[in-house]
């Protein structure tokens, strides 16, 4: 019987195992990076619910009448009306150019 330890065969098996492990780790890393990029793209396409709610609230505030401070008679008017009033006031205050 042959009881010699075949070092070259064991070394070859170990080398092949190391190469396989490195390849598997690199493939897993590529898959992770791609999935992370995909999730980041989805996050950019769909804003968080909190942000959507805040944006809708701000838009509603720009379009409504409301009393801000009743003691000092401060009110809020729709932004379109405010822009028209400011333009009208500015046009009255500037002298006509000939």
Task: Tell me the per-residue pLDDT of 40-78, one tens digit each, with 9 for 90 and over.
Answer: 887 777 777 888 899 999 999 999 999 999 999 999 999
Binning pLDDT at 50, 70 and 90, where does residue 36 land? very high
Find the mean pLDDT for residues 16-38.
Answer: 96
Q: Is 30 exposed, middle or buried (CB count within 10 Å of its CB: 0-12, 13-18, 19+)?
A: exposed
Residue (of 35, 12, 15) closest to 23 by Cα position: 15
pLDDT at 31: 97
Say which residue, 48 or 86, is predicted with more confidence: 86
Q: Is residue 1 over pLDDT 60?
A: no
Q: What tokens were used for 53?
A: 């709610």
Q: What tokens were used for 4?
A: 């010699």
Spatial separation of the C-alpha atoms in residues 25 and 31, rounded to whole Å:
10
């Amino acid at each position: 019987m042959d009881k010699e330890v075949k070092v070259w065969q064991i070394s070859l098996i170990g080398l092949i195992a190391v190469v396989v492990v490195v390849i598997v780790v690199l493939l897993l890393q590529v898959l992770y990076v791609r999935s992370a990029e995909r999730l980041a793209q989805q996050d950019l396409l769909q804003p968080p619910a909190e942000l959507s709610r805040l944006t809708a609230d701000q838009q509603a505030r720009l379009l409504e009448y409301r009393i801000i401070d009743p003691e000092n008679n401060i009110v809020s008017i729709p932004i379109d009306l405010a822009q028209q009033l400011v333009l009208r006031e500015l046009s009255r205050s500037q002298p006509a150019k000939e």
